[in-house]
Structure 1
Amino acid sequence: MMTVDPEDDAGAETADWYEWQAVMAAADGMALYVKALDANGRITDDTCRIICERHEDWVVLQGQDAELVSAKHKDPAYGAYTTLRKLFDDGGLAHLFRRWLALGAKPTCRLVTTPGLSAGPAQNLEKACEYLRDLRLGGAAVAVSDEHRSVVDDACGTLDRSKLPDDWREGGFSGDFPGTGHRDQMARFMSVLSIDHGQARRQHTDFAAPAMFAQPVVDRLGLHTPAAEIWEAVLRLFRARMRAGGPVPLAALPKVLAYRIGASAPNVEEIERSLVDRIITMQDIDVAIRVAVRNPGGFRPLPRLQRASRVAVKMAAGTCTDNSIERAEQLRADYQEYWSERMAIDAGARVEQARLRRTLLKVSDEATQAVGGIAAASGPVLWAELQRRLEELPRTDFPDDMDAELLLGGVCELSNHCRVWFSERFDVDAALASLRADTGSDA
């Protein structure tokens, strides 16, 4: 279990993505909470609530107004959104459009995502959305101008029409595609769409979220409780609701006489009661905040355990995941054990080790340049590029009884000796001394 490496790390990465979605939903919750407060810090609007994982990742509700929110996290290697196809497929705008149509074209829509928008089609879409939104907010007819017509037409062309209503299929609207009907409907969608791009990635939200999303609430309420504790209390609430982990009034009791003769379809209130396990009200957030205030230290985030080695500190500085760091430490230990055994029985092993060291330094240098240099890439991007290049290395460049995993362990050993970096250079020994002082470790 410990020595055989897994094929992938998808489970941990998926958990990180769900955590990031919970963070972004909690940020919306905090914003909606502040909006619902009066000058004395009391909730005056009890119609505000968030429904998690229904129609989209979450829905923000205030009275009769609703906003569908799709949250898409992309790692640095993805880069920016460059085309409309990427925005509609990878960014989820196509799914947002379908849900918007299914809901009678009434909600507003928002995409929350980490990549930015590159110059060209992606930024042109954002500009068209802003133009059409201004028309709508100004009370004018939402009409497509000549300047934005090609963007609207291209957006129509990205959609899989087989998944859309009949009007969007062959012969729909005017019969042409995109016709006036398609174009007008897409324009109305774009007039209610906002793209909240460039959000903090999952590697950074643990550190940045309390200051970004909780401190304004702390200041608004005049609290003395640390923002990190307020944030943790509210985030726990959203973590549970995003997994339908809220209260279930009837627990596991059977649904007796649920479909009796003469019964009618459930009304809005009954449906909302059935979704109580994934709804967050402003009162829920208020209670979470008050509990955190009354229990100082009770919602303090758990301290992050960090390995006290040079390679671990350097990978952490490059925002590599804890699982990658643990794997790096294990591979480094395996690499050291390999050469210890070789040198005990082979007098020429030291020469071979030196030759391999030069090869690994060359691969590390080429990988760094391929990802645009340390300043342009994060640790996970370089980590993935190193693995790819080591797997493609010719067999003649390393010993017959060594594989790509051990080669990666060799790179980790070089990093531990400050020959390879996963971030900009810094005083590793000073960082280690600070870490050991914080943990009380002499290791």
Structure 2
Amino acid sequence: MPEQPELTAAELVVTVPQPDDAGANTLDRYDWQASMAAADGLQLYLDALGPDKRLRSDDSRRILCEYQEDWVALDGDLAELVSAKHRDPSVDAYRTVNQLADDGGLAHLFLRWRALEEKPTCRLTTTGGLASGDPQDLEAATTILREMRQAGQDVTLPNSYLSSVAKLHSAVRTYSGKHLPSAWVKGSEDEVSEEDQRQQVARFLSMLKVHHSLTRRADIGFAAPAKFAKPVVEHLGFDVPCEAVWNAVYGLFYTRMRAAGPRADATISPVLSFANGSGPSTSADRERELSNRIVTVHDIDAAVMVAVINPAAYETLGSPIRLSRAAVKMRKGDCSDNSIERGEQLRKDYHHYWRGRLTGDPTAVAERDRLRRLLLRVSDKADTPLVRSNSKWGPDFWKSIQDLLDGIPQEKIPVGMDVDLLLGGISDLANACQVWFSDRFDVEDEIRRLREENRGSAA
């Protein structure tokens, strides 16, 4: 028989059977995992965008959910197994290597890595911290051993980390149960020495990254849009709430992590799959069978674009307080909710206008700068001692600006722009902290305070 080609890490992930499939059945209790997988997906997507901010049609980056581990990040032939463990504040940090192996899932992660011929890299993603002593020593060992591997050196055990490797080796033996590698069982035909076993653990540590002290479940809904979706929105240059993009992408991952939902390229059950002497399914066939668990960067791109086109459909429900800098400043100045909502919408329309003008119009940049100077002069003229005589002068200032904008001659307004869009420009300047509706204050601190208020309203 012809020699079979050696499989890559990505091919092994989809062809080697996993020992269980419990993860997808318990995901309803672990939406935090879906958030962390979505964060990885958005990072893959951001990395995949080329200089023209578009995906290549053949880009193969993808996330395989709830198979082998909580998810697997795939890029061509490469694979990274990710174990995601949420720890509540009452549990706090991992204090022993045994806790990392059991509660942190390192034992299970090691076993999957061994079953996949030691080819994937691995990552533990957790809200728990690492206590001083053995846990931090183990993390330090991963750094040293990884540097050896990446430098092309043999992974050897420095004397200072022999203890860390030995403790993880012991913990793997303790918490692997019936899944202990056959070569580790005394008396087995392929038995290896304990020294060789510890060398395997050292190689595993060279492939491992511990990503700890992450945002907990109670805070992820508020932190994730700004932390994970905002970089994508800013890179693409869209003027849409990052919450809308986050909700669209998170919903995609939440569905896939339950192995649910249709896909355009999914297949029905194979018919006559071995007819006429055809061979067993390939890794590509197996990956198609797993399509309802896979999120590609092209899936993420589609979700992002849908959210951009219709952001209102993905806005977070039960969030009564706008959290843009412009909205927070207007609220601090005691402007009404109606004024704030109008300012937010006009600011989006203003961005939409210039996005169209700046595409292929060489005069647009200079005209936009002239308009900005005009709007700053209007805001300066509206900011009078009479307006400020009221302790809450935001509404009077907002009205005064509109009166002044109404008086601007049409020839000074860019073609296709009306007075409402000029007001959107004022809101945009406020968002850039160049226009204020009250005395100056720490805007970021106020946003954090209002976010807590939002949280209480939604609870």
Q: The TM-score by the shorter chain falls in which range?
A: 0.5 to 0.7
The residue correspondences of 1:280-429 to structure 2 (distance < 5 A) are: 280-303=295-318
Whether 2:79 is the aligned partner of 1:70: answer no
SS in 2 for 1:158: helix
The residue correspondences of 1:84-103 to structure 2 (distance < 5 A) are: 84-103=97-116
Report deviation, 1:154.
1.1
Aligned equivalent of 2:35: 23
Aligned equivalent of 2:155: 142
Separation of aligned partners in 1, 2:74 and 2:27: 27
Aligned equivalent of 2:15: none
The number of residues matched between the two structures is 298
| Match of residue 185, structure 2, among 123, 144, 169 | 169
Aligned equivalent of 1:154: 167
Q: Which amino acid aligns with 2:36?
A: M
Whether 2:231 is the aligned partner of 1:211: answer no
Structure 1 unpaired stretches of 5+: 1-13, 306-429
Report deviation, 1:276.
1.0
Separation of aligned partners in 2, 1:163 and 1:174: 15
SS in 2 for 1:159: helix
Separation of aligned partners in 1, 2:270 and 2:293: 20
SS in 1 for 2:312: coil
SS in 2 for 1:68: strand
Q: Which runs of 4+ in 1 moved over 3 A?
A: 14-17, 171-177, 248-256, 258-261
Whether 2:247 is the aligned partner of 1:232: answer yes
Deviations 1:17-52 (A, max 9, x none): 421000000000000001111112111361101111
Contact 1:97/1:189 (<8 A) preserved: yes
Deviations 1:69-104 (A, max 9, x none): 011111111111010100000000000000001101
Q: Which amino acid aligns with 1:135?
A: M
For the structure 1 residues 173 and 128, does the alpha-carbon distance in structure 2 shift closer, same or farther, using more than 3 Å as the test? farther
For the structure 1 residues 298 and 75, does the alpha-carbon distance in structure 2 shift closer, same or farther, using more than 3 Å as the test? same
Structure 2 unpaired stretches of 5+: 1-25, 321-448
Deviates more, 1:118-127 or 1:37-46: 37-46
TM-score by length of 2: 0.61
SS in 1 for 2:277: coil
Aligned equivalent of 1:37: 49
Contact 2:27/2:258 (<8 A) preserved: no
Contact 1:174/1:181 (<8 A) preserved: no
| Match of residue 133, structure 2, among 120, 134, 148 | 120
Separation of aligned partners in 2, 1:172 and 1:41: 55
Contact 1:67/1:109 (<8 A) preserved: yes
Report deviation, 1:190.
0.1
Separation of aligned partners in 1, 2:198 and 2:266: 48
Identity, in percent, stands at: 46
Contact 2:81/2:123 (<8 A) preserved: yes
| Match of residue 130, structure 1, among 143, 161, 170 | 143
Separation of aligned partners in 1, 2:159 and 2:238: 52
Whether 2:281 is the aligned partner of 1:257: answer no
SS in 2 for 1:61: strand
Report deviation, 1:271.
0.8
Separation of aligned partners in 2, 1:242 and 1:92: 18
Contact 1:98/1:164 (<8 A) preserved: yes
TM-score by length of 1: 0.63
Aligned equivalent of 1:339: none
